[in-house]
Amino acid sequence: MALGTRTYQTVKLEHEQGITWVILNRPEKRNAMNPTMHFEMLDVLDQLEADPDTKVMVLTGAGEAWCGGQDLKEFFRELDDKPIERARASRAAQQWRWHRLFTFPKPTIAMVNGYAFGGAFTQLIACDFAIAAEDAIFGLSEVNWGIFPGGLVSRVLADAMTYRDAMYYIMTGEPFDGRKAAEMRLVTKAVPRDRLREETVQLAQKLLDKNPHVLRAAKEVYKACRTMDYWQAEEYLAAKGVALQHTDPEGGRSKGIRQFIDEKRYRPGFSAYSRED
């Protein structure tokens, strides 16, 4: 599938009213991530970051899987005696699934349509939101095939699961469904499979109504200040607040205050200011 002049072997892109659907596309291998997919996803994120038609990005999978994790054959076994290729593929894998996706400047939604195993938890947790089919199957299956959750999985689990839940699933390798993932707050919510796309679009539309510059800053600061101490966070948030007032081309803050205080046009407690004027 092409974005501009580019074509990808392992990823398909679809655009619809501000939403770009990024579809991992190796359904015959349950969308397991081979090195080609990692290199292509880095390029996809470069393109979408600069693409004015992409306002919200949804990450999903073709066929019955969301992502079957790293490709045990092409990413693991076939690179065991190729240290340079292994290092390149690993770097690309961490780059797109965590560093780039976690800080992607536009809202990201993981739409989990089916199997999500092992390494797939990295991009699941990096996305701002995750909506799962109630019957999607998740699993930290690494112990079942002789490794522990590596890459960055063990680290990012600490951001998204409780200690008890993470220890249980890391050490038993037991699968769980979308309902359980929602109960543990690993995903934002789980919905019946036939409503998955509709619910995802509804969430995307909520985000499309808001000032994108403010949304970008909101996710950046929340994600960045989670690991700062209080003094650093206070300084950082103050500086980013001033920066946003100067870089927001919509002038959202003054518009928002004017429409509420002077014009009594809306109540910020219940809705957003009008971006029309």
Residue 77 binds to ligand COA (criterion: CB under 6 A): no
Candidates 13, 19, 24, 32; binder of ligand COA (CB under 6 A) is: 32
Nearest distance in Å: CB 36, ligand COA: 13
Q: With both helix axes pointing from N to C terminus, report the angle between 35-50 and 83-94 in degrees, rounded to the nearest 10.
A: 40
Candidates 6, 73, 82, 155; binder of ligand COA (CB under 6 A) is: 73
Cα 7 to Cα 29, 40, 51, 95, distances in angstroms? 20, 9, 16, 20
Burial 144-153, CB ≥16 within 10 A → b, else e:
eeeeebebbb
Q: Which stretch binds ligand COA (CB under 6 A): 29-37, 198-206, 218-226, 234-242?
A: 29-37
Cβ 125 vs Cβ 156: under 8 Å: yes
Residue number, 68 or 252, with CB nearest to ligand COA: 68
Nearest distance in Å: CB 66, ligand COA: 10
Nearest distance in Å: CB 156, ligand COA: 13
**DSSP code for 78:** G
Binding map of ligand COA across residues 106-125, x = CB under 6 A, - = no contact = ---------x-xxx------
Cβ 69 vs Cβ 118: under 8 Å: yes
Candidates 30, 97, 106, 180; binder of ligand COA (CB under 6 A) is: 30
In 27-103 the beta strands, taken as DSSP E runs, fall at 56-61, 65-67
Q: Which stretch binds ligand COA (CB under 6 A): 25-33, 35-43, 234-242, 257-265?
A: 25-33
Nearest distance in Å: CB 176, ligand COA: 13
Nearest distance in Å: CB 231, ligand COA: 39
Residue number, 116 or 201, with CB nearest to ligand COA: 116
- According to CB under 6 A, which residues from 126 to 165 bind ligand COA? 141-142, 145
Q: What is the DSSP string of 212-273?
A: HHHHHHHHHHHHHHTTS-HHHHHHHHHHHHHHHHHH-TT-HHHHHHIIIIIT----TTTSPP
Residue number, 114 or 212, with CB nearest to ligand COA: 114
Residue number, 34 or 211, with CB nearest to ligand COA: 34
Residue 6 binds to ligand COA (criterion: CB under 6 A): no
Q: Which residues contact 57 (CB under 8 A, 6 or more apart)?
A: 19, 20, 22, 48, 104, 106, 107, 108, 109
Give the full edge-to-edge strand order of the sheet including 56-61. Answer: 11-16, 19-24, 56-61, 108-112, 129-133, 189-191
β-sheet bridge partners, residue 70 = 33
Nearest distance in Å: CB 61, ligand COA: 11
200: amino acid identity, one letter: T
143: amino acid identity, one letter: V
Give residues in contact with ligand COA (CB under 6 A).
29-30, 32, 65, 68-73, 115, 117-119, 141-142, 145
